[in-house]
Amino acid sequence: MLEIPGAKQPSDVFDSNLHPNMLAGVNDSKLGPLPSKTGRTLYDYKDMHRRFHWLTDDELKRIPVIPEGSRLEQGATYIDLRDENPREFKATAEMVAGPDNLYVPKSDVDYVLWNRLRGVNDPRRLDQGD
């Protein structure tokens, strides 16, 4: 169970049963490093090299992936690159990265690279305008 300094912790099995997901949906950087800051990047997934062949190795290394089993931040925007047609979505408190997901947090990817991942072709949104 995750312990928060200074916070009341469940004292026994009864309390744990009453609050099985006590911190679900909590977005608090004081709880420790975010999973996207400590996990792998898109570069670590060889099948993604083929799918996103137009990205350089350096760009793939700048795309963090939420580790399996990590809870997504409530209200944060993500994209699941395992989807055939990836689209942005807002996470809810109960969402957890599963084995079939490859969640990338929008907050940790630069604007142009995010748009390229989403398949945006507008040169103005890719910093290629006149």
pTM of the model: 0.69
Residues recorded for the chain: 130
pLDDT digits (tens, 9 = 90+) for 5-20: 666 655 656 666 666 6
pLDDT at residue 56 tops 70: yes
Alpha carbons 5 and 98: distance in angstroms, whole number: 29
pLDDT in tens, 57-107: 999 999 999 999 999 999 999 999 999 888 999 999 899 999 999 999 999
